[in-house]
Chains A and B, each alone.
Chain A
Amino acid sequence: MAERVIYATYDDDHVLLDGAKKLVADGVHITDVFSPFPIHGIDPVIGVKHTRLGIVAFLLGLFGLTLAIIGFRYFMIHDWPMNIGGKPNFSLLENYPSFVPVSFELTVLFAAHGMSIIYLLRNKTLPGMPADNPHPRTTDDRFVMEIRLSDNAGFSSEELHQKIKGTDIIEIEEKDYVVIK
């Protein structure tokens, strides 16, 4: 049997948040929430962990900086030292003040682009990817909760419907779960 999923639609972010708190307190597991903008405070309620992208950006920044330093040493000190206005071309450390601006730029370049690429990959948002929001208006003014029956083995479909209808929904729909991406 195909997996079944319930989509509960709300028309306000705070109403959805209140509803989600109530359902979670009742023991319902909310798989995901689709919204046109970030709903502040929803993440801990439905158990979404805080992203670790910040750490990724920091590490990539360090990588960029390291690459810059290795580059300077190779280009300017080791491979072809040039006498530029008598600047110390024999020591990376003594010549380093001239390299500070580019070190900074490469740190930012790697951190920003690396983080953005990983962000797009992790979200599975890339050019040509299909969208999988259940209702086209979730990018406009509708807020949808996705509740999979398999995540809520303790409840029957009717019980879930009953509980969801206890919140201030405007629409409820149950259908087969289709994996789009």
Chain B
Amino acid sequence: MHKEAAIREPLILGHKSYHDITEDVCRSIEGKAPRAWYIMFGIALLIGLYGIGCICYLLGVGIGTWGLNKSVEWAWDITNFVWWVGIGHAGTLISAVLLLFRQRWRMAINRSAEAMTIFAVFMAGLFPLIHMGRLWVGYWVLPLPNQFGSLWVNFNSPLLWDVFAISTYLSVSLVFWYIGLIPDFATIRDRAQSPIPKKIYGILSFGWSGRAKHWNRFELISLVLAGLATPLVFSVHSIVSFDFATSVIPGWHTTIFPPYFVAGAVFSGFAMVQTLLLILRKGMKLEAYIHTKHVEYMNIVIMVTGSIVGVAYLTELFISWYSGVEYESYAFINRATGPYWWAYWSMMTCNVISPQLMWFKKLRTSLLFTFFISIVVNIGMWFERFVIIVTSIHRDYLPSSWIQFYPTWTDIGIFIGTIGIFFVFYLLFSRYFPVLAMAELKTIVKISGESYKNEEGDIHQLQRTGDGGTAVAHSHEEVTETVVEETVVEETTSEEATEAEETTEEDNNNDTSESEENSDDDNKE
């Protein structure tokens, strides 16, 4: 069997048998949801419904209810669209690119990151659709034979490329995600006791039985879909950037946009994954699977892509001066010193400076700090899109057209509403779907599991012990190892205890033991 280098940190902490993995993942699906889940779901639902109300109002009244005007005809809607699409990049990047690079740490996070991707792309797709004003004729963007003279959609236009890119990306991500979910649904189906869940998970699992031939096909289809999804991820955000880059607006008309947008998308996507997973792992007690090392790996990705984004900002500034084009250089001077200077400098602070703090190991392994930075990065990335879109067009060629953009309550309501809808989907996912890829984790537990990693003896025997979480016949080495494992878990939980207060306080009955861990933690540091 393939052994992993001893120097690598284990990916699964503690001693986990195959059955333990199943138990740990299914616990939250089979048990009752904690009160915190209902509270968060209720809040998200209210915000989401408010957003839907705003969308209905928009559809009834028309786009005039947004703060758009004759110079700024794209503003919050497209900002939100690009922001959500960007967030929707991390999931497929994690599951596809990291699969091709055989990065095993992806297995703990890919399922939930892909779910996030899909829900984020739903939210993104909403904005161009409602921006059409007449949502019910949205299908006109497809090349369908029609009665209006044989006029077809324009395949020269980046806006149409977007239609194809986003819909391909959404549907392929959905299929990729679901193919991976089928075996895990089968696990839940075979464990279900009551008839209704058994029936539902039976339908969802498509009758999966886990035959050798099926697994053979499964592995190939995962690989090929990853191979197809990887260029797809890059193409989607490149095409989104073409919406701007192929126009002749100063500030938009730059060839750096595709790589810069893709890096920014990965940057914001990983930040959102961090935000969600830090809460998820705590709320669902998955610290053994998603631990500090995973967070650190993701922080390194954030640091690298954040640096790429920083370099892109500086390159843009340099080129705007070096080009000698008056309008181009004015667009950038206006961004930094014009009426939207605060947006520009928030973007610079959040996106260029904050990820550089990840060079410090102490900071990038701190869960509280990571949570804070992940929020900062997401705010920064929203401002990036706002800066690119609004500041480039609010000062038109004619000074008589110069105008400011102010969002109206519908602008704000729809944006906040999409965050609510997103969390409604995500919370439903975390309640009813397996949040970790069980089948995949079981394939790495003997390679990267802490108690197996550097074991010389018979690891098959080791797998058999500890069935169902009860420690049976541990050898001496195992016992000492378990102690080590517990300290690590405590360390990670306590660091994070403060940030996910809403989750912990409600669902942990043993809050007292939590605080004890907190005090222990200082000694270990």
Contacts and interface: CB of A to CB of B under 8 A. Distances in A.
B522 interface: no
B266 interface: no
A132 B155 CA distance: 48
Contacts of A38: 215-216, 218-219, 439, 443
Contacts of A172: none
B239 interface: yes
Interface string A20-34: 000000000000111
Contacts of A11: 463-464
A95 B442 contact: no
A131 B460 contact: no
Given A84-B154, A112-B175, A141-B22, A37 B183 contact: yes
B360 to A, nearest CB: 38
Given A84-B157, A109-B168, A130-B207, A140 B231 contact: no
Interface in A122-141: 122-133, 136-141
B168 A108 contact: yes
Contacts of B224: 53-54, 57, 111, 115
B212 A39 contact: yes
A179 B445 CA distance: 34
Contact of A131 (B157, B160, B209, B219): B209
B202 interface: yes
Nearest to A30: B212
Name the interface size band of chain B: 35 or more
Interface stretch (B185-193, B324-332, B336-344, B400-408): B185-193
A61 to B, nearest CB: 8
Interface string B194-205: 000000001111
A113 B171 contact: yes
Interface in A63-109: 71-72, 75-76, 79-80, 82, 84-85, 87, 95, 98-99, 101-102, 104-106, 108-109
A133 B190 contact: yes
Interface residues of A, number: 69
Interface string B142-185: 01000001111111111011001100100110011001001100
A79 B216 contact: no
Contacts of B50: none
B210 A101 contact: no
Contacts of B213: 32, 48, 51
Contacts of A109: 164, 168, 171-172
Contacts of A129: 206-207
Nearest to A95: B156
B172 A112 contact: yes
A39 B215 contact: yes
B500 to A, nearest CB: 29
Interface string B218-244: 111100110011011001000100100
A106 B204 CA distance: 28
A116 B212 contact: no
B210 A36 contact: yes
Contacts of B143: 71, 75
Contacts of B171: 109, 113
Nearest to B21: A141
Given A39-B212, A140-B18, A140-B19, A101 B150 contact: no
Given A34-B211, A36-B439, A105 B191 contact: no
A119 B214 CA distance: 9
B190 A102 contact: no
Contact of B212 (A43, A61, A80, A102): A43
Nearest to B460: A12
Contacts of A40: 443
Given A54-B224, A101-B239, A131-B207, A15 B460 contact: yes
A43 B175 CA distance: 26
Given A84-B156, A129-B206, A136-B191, A79 B150 contact: yes
A149 to B, nearest CB: 19
A32 B207 contact: no
Contact of B207 (A34, A76, A181): A181
B17 interface: yes
A133 B168 contact: no
A82 B464 CA distance: 70
A131 to B, nearest CB: 5
13 contacts: A12-B460, A32-B211, A37-B183, A37-B440, A51-B220, A80-B149, A82-B156, A125-B208, A126-B207, A131-B205, A140-B19, A141-B18, A181-B207
Interface of B: 1, 17-19, 22, 143, 149-158, 160-161, 164-165, 168, 171-172, 175-176, 179, 182-183, 186-187, 189-191, 202-221, 224-225, 228-229, 231-232, 235, 239, 242, 438-440, 442-443, 460, 463-464
A-B complex: 8 closest residue pairs judged by Cβ atoms: A129-B207, A141-B18, A136-B190, A38-B215, A125-B206, A75-B152, A133-B209, A105-B164
